[in-house]
Amino acid sequence: MSTQFEVQASSQKPVQSVSEITVRLVGDSGDGMQLLGTQLTNTSALSGNDVATFPDFPAEIRAPRGTRAGVSGFQVHFSSEEIFTPGDGLDALVAMNPAALVTNLGDLRKQGILILNSDNFEAKDLKLAKLNQDPRTDGSLKDYRVIEVPMTNLTRTAVEGTGLSVKQADQCKNFFAMGLVYWLFGRDVKPTLRFIEAKFSGKQDLAEANRKALQAGWSYGETTEHFASTFQVAPARLEPGTYRNVMGNQALAWGLMAASQLSHKQLFLGSYPITPASDVLHELSKYKNFGVRTFQAEDEIAAICSIIGAAFGGAMGVTTSSGPGIALKGEGLGLAVMLELPLLVINIQRGGPSTGLPTKTEQADLLMALYGRHGECPMPVLAARSPADCFDVAIEAWRIATRFMTPVMLLSDGYIANGAEPWRLPNVESLEKIEIVHPGPAEPGQTFLPYQRDALLARPWALPGTKGLEHRIGGLEKEDGTGNISYDPKNHQHMVNTRAKKVQNVAEVIAPLSVEGPEQGDLLVAES
């Protein structure tokens, strides 16, 4: 490892202290912007800043290089104070080609820092981006602090002697950009050097090339006259504890596992892959040591039906999807409500309708979550507010599902799912247990009533095979108490009312809402 770089990575130029910075890194899908953004996020979190991120992916598979459709980006907002969004405007934009520039320039603040890879502004690059003129010379960048850097050629020079081909050398330019960004914003290079060592442990030529590219980018910032100073963001005043960087889907998976352990129930995930929910399936599949069972179903209908079966068998049934998949699960959700079984349906929202904008963020499924089932079919709906909050919401959703014997829908979205922020590790001992009591074997002569309800209108969760607890289950309307099939209209209305009242009773067991910020404000929202 290049220990000399570790020691010297402290700028000798003047330092400006600022409270927060928002930077966006954009380029082609193959330019490594997601890796650059992830490393910037990690080193900012390790520096003690509060961090919020916003990854942005192309929707088309292998969109043509250099085109607007193929632009991939990663936005990082790091601050010395607590923050709640990835930032509304950019202080700095790093664009690797013209397409990345024109699709993101509108978010850069006036006089913001604009760093361009000047090697990618040839005539063919402008044509791919559908530009008739070079934005560097037509006056469209006059309101910004433009810094042109020949990153591709500087990277090739930096990695000479490592034995890499030109194509391989060009793939290191994201580390050059990373080094320059680290220098500009006073980020520590040590975590990324450790990452390089671990990532390329079996390929020392690639490891050395990326280290050299990182150092070249840092050294360029230190020696060029383009920059008069660097910027420094002090650590945030966060609640004391041990923190780690966590993404929303990751925190959601961990929250589900925690809920499983707190309730002593085996976690069964039955899901069909769909953007942006698939990473929950990927993450949970790693933890068979915690008794997690994952099933990649052949379609969305099979996924919801599989977890209904798991719930009937006494397991923690969970399925994950997004808008189009939730639509396909609608009939199964109605069955779960009718059966009054506890299970979780997680909707990681994306843009719609239909395939819509699969890699873009929308919270477009709220009405479907609330009402997207036939008949009178209410169920509790919870929503995560941030990536770290996904952990707590997953536990709360399962607590409600088991206490009220009902399916629960948990809403997230593409930003929360793929975004990241510092997460304070909880004290496991302080997590409240989820108490679940199954009825025991019936006494001789005792009649089991599967729809006999407690004070909150929840019915018992009878496990199959328990002696004397045989009962009818299915999608036909049940007679209250006995669970026998009933076509009586008065009973049907009574059961509809009872299921609705049961969901309303959830409000009796949740904590009162707290107001963050001022109690009153000047904002008025009026319907146009």
CA-to-CA separations, 242 to 7, 234, 253, in angstroms, rounded: 26, 18, 20
Q: Which CATH class is domain 3-233?
A: alpha beta
Per residue in 457-473, pLDDT (tens digit) is: 999 999 999 999 999 88
pLDDT band of residue 513 (cuts 50, 70, 90) is: confident
**CATH 3.40.190.10 assigned to 244-430:** no
Expressed in percent and rounded to 5, the helix, strand and coil fractions of the chain are 40, 20, 40
Which is it for strands 15-18 and 230-233: parallel, antiparallel or unpaired?
A: parallel
% of the chain beyond a pLDDT of 90: 85
- Residues 6 or more apart whose Cβ sits within 8 Å of residue 490: none
Mean pLDDT of 132-150: 96
| Residues 44, 52 contacting (CB under 8 angstroms) | no
d(Cα 348, Cα 443) in Å, to the nearest integer?
A: 45
- Residues 6 or more apart whose Cβ sits within 8 Å of residue 292: 257, 260, 266, 267, 269, 284, 285
Q: What pLDDT score does 201 carry?
A: 87
What's the pTM value of the predicted model, to 2 decimals? 0.89
Name the H helices within 53-203. Answer: 98-104, 123-128, 151-158, 166-170, 173-184, 190-199
Per residue in 337-354, pLDDT (tens digit) is: 999 999 999 999 999 999
- Residues 6 or more apart whose Cβ sits within 8 Å of residue 379: 333, 337, 373, 406, 407, 408, 409, 503
Q: Using alpha carbons only, what angle is made at residue 17 by residues 16 and 18, rounded to the nearest 5 degrees?
A: 115
Per residue in 354-394, pLDDT (tens digit) is: 999 998 889 999 999 999 999 999 999 999 999 999 999 99
pLDDT band of residue 168 (cuts 50, 70, 90) is: very high
Does the pLDDT of residue 3 top 50, yes or no?
no
Equal fold, 3-233 vs 244-430: no
Per residue in 260-312, pLDDT (tens digit) is: 999 999 999 999 999 999 999 999 999 999 999 999 999 999 999 999 999 99
Does the pLDDT of residue 516 top 80, yes or no?
no
Q: For 234-356, where are the E strands, in sequence order? A: 243-247, 267-271, 293-296, 316-321, 343-349
pLDDT band of residue 525 (cuts 50, 70, 90) is: confident
| Residues 21, 46 contacting (CB under 8 angstroms) | no
Point out the least confidently predicted range of 101-115, 117-131, 504-518. Answer: 504-518
pLDDT band of residue 514 (cuts 50, 70, 90) is: confident
Per residue in 171-188, pLDDT (tens digit) is: 999 999 999 999 999 999
Q: What pLDDT score does 61 carry?
A: 77
Average pLDDT of the chain is: 93
Q: What are the φ and ψ backbone dihedral angles of 300, each rounded to 5 degrees?
A: -70, -35
Q: What pLDDT score does 7 carry?
A: 41
Point out the least confidently predicted range of 73-82, 198-207, 308-317, 386-395. Answer: 198-207
Q: What pLDDT score does 451 carry?
A: 95
The dihedral sign for the CA sequence 201, 204, 206, 210: positive
Q: What pLDDT score does 5 carry?
A: 55
Domains of the chain, residue spans? 3-233, 244-430
User: In 3D, which of 211, 180, 192 has the Cα closest to residue 116?
Assistant: 180
% of the chain beyond a pLDDT of 70: 98
In the three-class reduction of DSSP (H, G, I as helix; E, B as strand; rest coil), residue 143 is classed as: coil
Mean pLDDT of 66-74: 94
d(Cα 351, Cα 330) in Å, to the nearest integer?
A: 19
d(Cα 209, Cα 38) in Å, to the nearest integer?
A: 19
Does the pLDDT of residue 202 top 90, yes or no?
no
- Residues 6 or more apart whose Cβ sits within 8 Å of residue 460: 405, 438, 439, 450, 452
- Concatenated DSSP letters of 369-389: HHH-SSSS----EEE--STTH
Q: What pLDDT score does 1 carry?
A: 44
Tokens of 511: 């904590």
d(Cα 419, Cα 247) in Å, to the nearest integer?
A: 5
Q: What pLDDT score does 141 carry?
A: 97
